[in-house]
Amino acid sequence: MRKVRTLMGLCKASETLQVIENDLPNVAWKITKFQISPKNANEYGGLQFGARLCTDMRGLDPSDPAGSSPMNWDSQQIIALSLIGGTGTLLNMLDPENFVVQDLFVDNCYGFGLYYHIEMEMYSITSDEQIVYQLKQIGQDAE
């Protein structure tokens, strides 16, 4: 049986929210969709909105989102990105091999409130797979 979960909510300006704290053994969540929309459509004129999904906030400075680059795909912690450009251009990027085995954060990269929509599927994994996914989420940035 396929288990699908949807998370929706409000992320205030420059806020980071923990939306999953997974303590279940042998369970992983695969993110299948991540989208955002402005909280106040009247604020939208020419402004940029953006958020990212992260599995770990260490090394990503939430107080300086521009400096830590919301589009930093070298960081394994960032598994999805959704941007709305000032001209209405949409950009949604998602790591197709992502599996969340512990925590998931929504990180609002800009100074405007936004709504987020996350869809994910639940998978049963082995203990060995869980360890591999945990190491992958924190180990790619090591040099």
pLDDT tens profile 102-141:
899 998 888 788 999 999 999 999 999 999 888 877 655 5
> How many Cβ atoms are within 10 Å of 70's Cβ, its own excluded?
19
Q: What does the pLDDT read at residue 18?
A: 92
Please name the residue that has the structure tokens 């998602």.
94
3-state secondary structure of 101: coil
Instruction: Let me know: does 77 contact 137? Beta carbons within 8 Å.
Output: yes
Burial class of residue 101 (count of CB atoms within 10 Å of its CB; 0-12, 13-18, 19+): buried
The mean predicted confidence, pLDDT, of the chain is 80
Strand 114-124, strand 3-11: pairing: antiparallel
Strand partners for 30: 121
**pTM of the prediction?**
0.82
Q: What does the pLDDT read at residue 38?
A: 86
Higher pLDDT, 88 or 66: 88
With a cut of 50, say whether residue 61 has pLDDT above it.
yes
